[in-house]
Structure 1
Amino acid sequence: PTLFEDVAATVGLPTEAAATRLAFGDLDSDGYCDIVLDRTNLWFNRPTDSKEPARRFVLAPLPICADGQRRPDVVLVGDLDNDGVADLFLGRNTDLSNPKFKDDQLRHEIWMGDGKGGYQLKRKSGVEDFAETIISACLVDFDRDGNLDLFLANAYTAYGKSYEAFPDRLLRGRGDGRFLDVTKTAGLEGVAKVGLETSRRPSYGVTHTDWNNDGWQDLLTMSYGRQANRLWRNDGDGTFTDVGAATTFDGDDDRSGEYPAGVRRAKEPEFRSHGNDFDCAVADFDGDGDMDCFLATIAHGWGGPASDSSMLLVNEGADKGFVFRREKDRIPREPLTLRTNRGDLHAGWLDVDNDGWLDLLIASSDYPDQQILRLYHQSSEGQFEEWTDRLGLLWVSPAQISLGDFDHDGATDILVGRSHQRLSKEQRLEHPMRPGLLRNLCAPRSGNRFLNIRLQGKKGSSNRDAIGARVTIWTGDHRQTREVQGGLGVGAHRDDLDCRFGLGQADEATRVEVRWPDRKGTVQVFEHVKANTFYTLAQGEVLQQLAP
């Protein structure tokens, strides 16, 4: 049976369109997921007069960029001035070392929203000062001042010519759409020379999480070119310390740099014995109250020990200093051979059947050997089983993914793009470029219940989007935690901001605890919260039930 139905055409999305980058985001503050498609086109989620489909996407009359302008490489949606209206960050990769690159003088930009789907350029915002090779970005309130900040992932200074990289950039938000570069004072600048603990590394993905449960959002960077990842511990005073090696986030324990027998390549130096990491899906998948992660990594069979593979990292918690335990075989995968590839570029967590346990979605692409969208279902015993075929999930060469409940039926849907990278002509014809919107039928048909909570921070206390907030619920003894995240990996990968929980057969959450991302670490607690309900919560107020 097909338990994920592709309704893209039915709801008005294009049947042929570039779709390597896409994301859900509420662009007009109506509570429904809109879509940013291929970094330029805005599609608004609107009601219809029928039950099927109940929602339809309508293209905005004007794209993000004017005709002829170079489109951005990265787009983030967030409320940068806490006025309740979504704003945009547009990041442009400026590769001045590439002789084929024509510098049009366009740089990063901030566009402030008007609440109706229109945007106006914010001049002298402070983000336009950088001509660097941005690959990704995330929104985070690192200093808990109630304003969203930007963390930008930059890559090589000269791709293919040097291992040197630009520094990643931390830009502190002023709360009005302007930003201040605090990279150096935060201790994030690094040095240009390669191979050192303090060397700048080509970051292809960034995210954030409160890794050690101290209330401060830490920064995670995923490195390309088999250089080590970084976990920047937020020290709470505006500075960060790299604890990637101390926590095993940097890479696996095989640092030999050796290639398999028969592969004629020289042994790699230790600093190039890690992975080609792109995404970091962060979640408390095991329900123990701390944040774990899955690293999505491109791997080749010919790389052998010289290159890491995708990996589940289990947070060991306070008793063991929040070190990650790397579980190589927890997710059942076909082993690589010398001639096969694993193009894991994106990953995400969702409760596909609302049974109360998070499942893992992996999007693999960019290679011709059957790279597809795969889902691994987690049982209540913590075991993972591939459900791709069982769900009827057939999406070849998936590009970026984004998770959200576009039709408010209590089930997490999948927005997915497509990549033609390295595909044959025949494969490209069979699988044209277009977005897919995979409507989740599994959760409704399971009979399991859900709970959906959208947070709104209080101005002057928390950021309006509540990015960095943590919601924990209990159904009896079973605990689940969600963190509101402003970016998840490569290409500004992001999901919608709602906190969705599967409740199994429980008719209520016996307890709901919300920890806000303000300086006080304000906590609100609610008891006996009804299932199968959408709630909004403004900081300091009570849960408000949304009309069906």
Structure 2
Amino acid sequence: MIFRFSNLAIGALVMSGLILGCGQSPKPEVSKSPTQPTVQAKPSYEDADGPSLFKQLDAKTGIEFTYQNGEENNHLAILESLGGGVGLIDLDRDGLLDVLTPGGGKYTEKNIQGVPCKLFHNKGAMAFEDWSDRIVIEGGWFYTHGVAVSDFNRDGWQDALLTGWGRVALLRNDPVDPANPAKGRKLVDVTRQSGLETGSWSSSAAWGDLDGDGFPDLYLACYADWSFSKHPSCSYGTKVKDVCPPKEFQGLQHQLFLNRGDGTFREVGKDAGLEKPGKEASKGLGALMVDLDGDGKPEIYACNDTVENFLYLNQSRRGNIRLKSWAKESGVARDDHGNPNGSMGVDSADYDRTGRYSIWVTNYENEPHALYHNDGLQDGKPIFSWKTTASGIAAMGQKFVSWGTGFADFDWDGWEDLFVINGHAIRFPGGGEEGQKMRPVLLRNQGGGKFKLASQRGGEYFSTEHRGRGAALGDLDNDGALDLVVSHVQNPGAVLKGLPPTGRQWIGFNLQRNAHACCVGAQVRLTAQGKPMSRQVKGGGSYASSPDRRIHFGLDTATKMDTLEISWPDGFRETFDPARFVPGKYHEIIQGTGNKK
């Protein structure tokens, strides 16, 4: 969320007055009032023809949650802007994704309190049961934002981490009754004994094995040094007070925790090479781990608010995490005009079938969203070029404050499409609440590196406005049509069921390594009807959310694969007989069960 000017918007601002934008709005003054931001006009859509890809489900699913930010107390704290995400976790290993949602927080005067998170158990056929009482939190709830799912102790059961203000919570997946497995599972707070106690304010997190020991390490995107003792009063042109922009605050140090492999962690950010915080640095909102140079080891990309984004190349050895800062050199720190942006959401994909993974970043209003194309290696390091305009994504305009996002092949044509969830960050855009809600955006990948707006194909949800924040993408009913769970600020969240396209095929893979080693960085490559495609297991992504980690391919009209190859994080490569894998279902593949390449 940025609040400052962009060179791209200057011409328009001369005509229409100053406009507030995350990273591109005028700096507000304490007790003074710069020009009021105008209410943005709704963008026009140039939607592609075709059947609807989603149907919004009602509360009959059993999923009912509302992220609370405490704004009814009128503190106008920047804490209220971030909102929350969604986590997808198979808690009981029944093959169905359960849903974990942060609750946010509230105030008693100036005491910050947490709202309990919710957990919904998937019973199948898009029916869920409230299992929230199975979350055991130590010391009471805190103001939460994000979810990151991983099997941190490699016991074969998925665990979860909650981010938020003043602390995080590591929730270990334990049996309700060790003597009676039939009673199911629960999430137990083990933060204190794990060494993850931190007094910082974190928004998003990403898990991935950085040092190659098989245990997932943890990156925390930390935001700004705000508290009620550092709480200025701001406005944007009228007497209406509003949330102060991030420029008013010092950025916090992002944090990196090495997984020792015994259930405990050690903070190693400084020694590993993380950038220092400052008034013009850090302020993290999004985090992603993904292999960008093809060596199997995940890199780290972090979205920062109004300041340069981070990219860290992974140069680690076992037990010794070493990172090289590479954002400026590679071209992914700023936009194409050299401006840092208010960056929130992030994902990565081989969207144009080059075999290389590009980076996608959602930004604030009056800023271009960023598609950084991976152009390959230069002296062994990835280099990127700006493709927002050339790809057609710029057609969505700069009217949105964008958060949760992700690539996926919604129409099964073999090309990964893109969704973007939107909603304003401040309380009174344009001096009132009417500008808080924004429409989400759906972009269809047409192949050849081109996208086209297709929001009308998203169904009713994509045609209405919401105070959107985080979103998790995953197949909740295992029918191959990917679903979405979206978190809204102060409004009920949404469940969107993916609608299976007719006349096309799909296939999915659940990758596993021996002794439940971390799979982040593993890549699946296949060909179908002679067309190459690749997908990767990623850590983090979207905004403050944890999507389905299974690999999903649309196969278009192909009824079988021609070739199938998997590269694992330890560098092991193997091929598989594609005849073993029938389209229309998810297949578990364990490392070492193919033919070594």
Tell me, yes or no, if structure 1 residue 210 matches structure 2 residue 210.
no
Cα deviation 1:456-494 (Å, max 9, x = unaligned): 12128x32xx22211111114311111112211532x22
C-alpha contact (below 8 Å) 1:60/1:117 kept by paired residues: no
Whole-Å Cα distance in 1 between the matches of residues 532 and 511 of structure 2? Answer: 19
Q: Does 1:531 align with 2:583?
A: yes
CA distance in 2, matches of 1:62, 1:136: 24
Structure 1 letter corresponding to 2:164 = R
Mapped to 1, the partners of 2:255 and 2:310 lie a distance apart of 14
Q: How does 1:244-283 map to 2 (within 5 A)?
A: 244-255=327-338, 273-283=339-349
- Deviations along 1:94-141, whole A, 9 cap, x unmatched? 2xxxxxxxxxxxx33322212533133326434444211212111111
Q: Distance in 2 between matches of 1:482 and 1:192?
A: 33
1:11-39 deviation line (CA, Å, top 9, x unaligned): 22228675943222212221111100235
1:294 to 330, 335, 360: 360
**Helix, strand or coil for the counterpart of 2:501?**
helix
Q: Give the counterpart of 1:92 among 161, 164, 171.
A: 164
Aligned counterpart in structure 2 of residue 416 of structure 1, from 476, 486, 492: 486
- Partner residue in 2 for 1:139: 207
Does 1:478 find its partner at 2:531? Answer: yes
> How many angstroms apart in 2 are the aligned matches of 1:478 and 1:246?
33
CA gap 1:8/1:541 in 2 versus in 1, 3 angstroms: farther
Q: How does 1:3-402 map to 2 (within 5 A)?
A: 3-14=53-64, 20-39=84-103, 40-47=117-124, 54-60=125-131, 62=133, 64=135, 69-94=141-166, 107-115=167-175, 116-122=184-190, 124-158=192-226, 163-188=249-274, 190-192=275-277, 194=279, 200-224=281-305, 226-237=306-317, 238-255=321-338, 273-300=339-366, 308-318=367-377, 322-329=382-389, 330=391, 331-336=393-398, 341-366=399-424, 368-369=434-435, 371-392=438-459, 393-397=462-466, 398-402=468-472
Following the alignment from structure 2 to structure 1, what is the Cα–Cα distance between the partners of residues 446 and 482? Answer: 18
Provide the rounded CA distance (Å) in 2 between the counterparts of 1:172 and 1:387: 42
Residues of 1 paired with 2:446 and 2:248: CA distance?
A: 45
CA contact (8 A) 1:41 1:63 kept: no
Q: Shift of the alpha carbon at 1:283? A: 0.8
* 2:33 equivalent in structure 1: none
Segment drifting more, 231-240 vs 318-327: 318-327
Alignment check: 8 A CA contact 2:163 2:169 kept? yes
Cα distance in 2 between the residues matched to 1:324 and 1:72: 34
Does the 8 Å CA contact 2:346/2:542 hold for their aligned counterparts? yes
Give 2:121's aligned amino acid.
Answer: F
Query: What SS is found at the alignment partner of 1:297?
Result: coil
Letter of the 1:206 counterpart: A
TM-score by length of structure 1 reads 0.80
CA distance 1:515–1:182, shift in 2 (3 Å): same
The change in CA–CA distance for 1:16 and 1:146 in structure 2 (over 3 A counts) is closer
323-332 or 345-354, larger mean C-alpha shift: 323-332
Q: Cα distance, 1:332 vs. partner? A: 4.3
Q: Tell me the number of residue pairs that the alignment of Structure 1 and Structure 2 aligns.
A: 471
- Shift in Å, 1:319: 6.2
- Root mean square deviation, CA, Å: 2.5
SS state at 1:80 partner: coil
- 2:496 maps to 438
SS in structure 2 at match of 1:517? coil
With over 3 angstroms needed to count, the CA separation of the structure-2 counterparts of 1:380 and 1:253, relative to structure 1, is closer
Cα deviation, residue 401, structure 1: 1.1
Calculate percent identity across the aligned residue pairs.
24
Question: Are the counterparts in 2 of residues 65 and 71 from structure 1 also a CA contact under 8 Å?
Answer: no
Gaps of 5+ in 2: 1-50, 69-82, 104-116, 176-183, 231-245
Residue aligning to 2:108? none
Contact 1:349 1:360 (8 Å CA) reproduced: yes
Whole-Å Cα distance in 2 between the matches of residues 526 and 282 of structure 1? 25
State the 4+ residue runs in structure 1 displaced beyond 6 angstroms. Answer: none
CA deviation string 1:170-227 (max 9, x = no partner): 1011233311111122111x445555xxxx5211111111111122211111111x21
Q: CA deviation at 1:495?
A: 0.8
Give how far 1:157 is off.
Answer: 2.5
The letter for the 2-side match of 1:10 is: K
**Structure 1: gaps (5+ residues):** 48-53, 95-106, 256-272, 301-307, 421-432, 544-548
